[in-house]
Each structure stands twice: as structure tokens, then as C-alpha cells.
């Protein structure tokens, strides 16, 4: 159980960071929020991969990680779009 939680945090941090690198432009969300989105994507991706039967393979679970990354990209995009007042332009002129 503890190993799964630590694994989700580590994979979530990596997946969240990769999601921000994949998305073009600048995202106006914090590192902490990126980590939360990444952890959620990692957990949801693992559940989906388990339900579809490709979560536990003999080597690296590439399809599971690709699914987690895709979910993290969608999550970061959604969170970025939902943030109020974040237009990316200088409104303080």
C-alpha cells in the first residue's frame, strides 16, 4: 500500500512535468497543482489500464504510462482553462 502511494507520487510528478513540456506555450498553474494533476492522472491511468488488462506486463508498462501522460495533458489543459483571470497578457498597464 505504501509502495503504491509513493509510486503514484513519483510517477505523478514525472507525468505532470512531462505534460507541461508537451503542451506548447506557458501554462499558468503552479508546480503543486501540476503535481496534483499528475498524481490524479497516474492513479486514473493505472485504474483504466488495469480494467483494460495492460497494467502489469513483464517489463515497463509503456501503454499504461502513455495513457497516464495523455490524461495528465488533458488535466493540465483543463486546469489551465478553468483558472479565472489568467489570460497570459499584461493587464496591469
Tens-binned pLDDT, residue by residue, of the chain (93 aa): 677 778 878 988 999 999 998 988 888 888 889 999 999 998 898 889 888 887 677 777 788 889 999 999 999 999 988 876 555 544 444
Residues 6+ apart with CB under 8 A from 42: 8, 11, 12, 15, 68, 72
6 in a domain, yes or no?
no
C-alpha–C-alpha distance, residues 43 and 67, integer Å: 11
**Range of the structural domain that residue 61 is part of:** 26-81
So what's the pLDDT on residue 91? 45
3 in a domain, yes or no?
no
Distances (CA, A) of 27 to 31, 72, 78, 89: 10, 13, 11, 12
So what's the pLDDT on residue 2? 73
4 in a domain, yes or no?
no
19 in a domain, yes or no?
no
Tally of CA atoms within 13 A in the half-sphere of 62 that contains its CB: 1
What total number of domains does the chain contain? Answer: 1
Please give the grid coordinates belonging to residue 46: 493505472
77 in a domain, yes or no?
yes
So what's the pLDDT on residue 15? 92
- Kindly report the pTM of this predicted structure: 0.78
Amino acid at each position: 500500500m505504501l509502495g503504491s502511494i509513493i509510486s503514484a507520487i513519483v510517477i505523478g510528478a514525472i507525468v505532470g512535468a512531462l505534460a507541461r513540456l508537451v503542451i506548447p506555450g506557458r501554462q499558468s498553474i503552479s508546480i503543486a497543482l501540476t503535481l496534483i494533476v499528475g498524481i490524479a492522472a497516474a492513479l486514473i491511468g493505472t485504474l483504466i489500464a488495469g480494467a483494460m488488462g495492460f497494467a502489469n506486463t513483464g517489463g515497463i508498462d509503456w501503454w499504461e504510462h502513455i495513457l497516464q501522460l495523455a490524461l495528465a495533458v488533458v488535466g493540465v489543459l483543463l486546469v489551465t482553462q478553468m483558472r479565472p483571470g489568467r489570460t497570459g497578457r499584461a493587464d496591469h498597464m
